[in-house]
Amino acid sequence: MKIAVFGTGGVGGYYGARWAAAGEEVHFVARGAHLEAMKAAGLRVSSPNGDLHLEPVRATDDPATIGPVDLVVVAVKLYDTESVARGCAPLLGPETSVVSFQNGVTAVETLAAAVGAERVFGGTTYIMSVIEEPGVILHTGRRARLVFGELDGRSSPRVQALLEACERAGVDAVVTDDIRGLIWSKFTFLVALSGMTSLMRLPVGSIRSDPETRALFRAAVDEAVAVARAKGVPVRDDMADRHMATVDDLPASVGSSMLYDLTHGKRLELPWLSGTVSRMGAELGVPTPVHDVVAAALKPYAEGQPPTP
């Protein structure tokens, strides 16, 4: 497959490198110091699942130099989705598909509006990985799973083609007939994890061990699940309980990508996470006091600039 990966961070860099190492024609769209390091010395992945060094690497900041591809993989931060959607144009041929492996629940609609709903299918991923330094992706923990499928649940040749590419690369991948439900299931957990760890500047172990902060975490989960139900998303009756069981299974040191961005002075996905729960709750008449506070309290940091005294 000829694949263009928009965003060569912890998600796009990890999976894109695995595909490329297995023989797929992968083009990375990156920028800044990360791009320059990739051009100079290739892309390295450090992972319990096996390290790799991809050199040379096809990397550029100009999608027009790539030409039409079979698949565009979108793995940028949510605040870059609209610009990436517009930037996809040079990559689109008659049979090109687009899939998002981003956080949040709004990316699919944003991409579909820009490139056409018929081109887009849905995806989500379960992985803890970051850019450790320019040109280097650090994957912590063994879990690295992709889940994807058509938005209407049907089977399709393009989904099967991506599954086969994952199998060739040794990537744990699953095709689902309920990708919308799985995207929301992940969101209702992630939005609580991101919001609580960032608000408190603490890893999950410290939060779950105190009865009061644990209750606050559970309230954040409950609010997100209530919004999902109000949106008409089929939600398991025990979803909140399952999410709390996941919280208890996580290593105590686990934080979130938003906490990482907050502590490193980077822009936050806040408006697309707790901000989205808060906004949708207001539109649907669902109270979301915890996420309202998270969205308001972290707003001064949302652009990556520390508050001015």
Catalytic residue numbers read: 186
Contact predicate 271/291, CB 8 Å: no
> Using an 8 Å Cβ cutoff, are 245 and 190 in contact?
no
| Distance separating alpha carbons of residues 129 and 47, to the nearest angstrom | 9
Tell me, what DSSP letter sits at residue 308? Answer: P
Other residues' Cβ atoms within 10 Å of the Cβ of residue 164: 12
d(CA 187, CA 121): 17
Rounded CA separation 140/124 (Å):
18
Alpha helices in 91-210 (DSSP H): 107-115, 157-169, 179-200, 204-209
Spell out where 7-157 has E strands: 25-29, 43-46, 52-54, 59-60, 71-74, 97-100, 120-133, 136-149
Distance (Å) of CA 256 to CA 38, 178, 197, 279: 26, 25, 7, 22
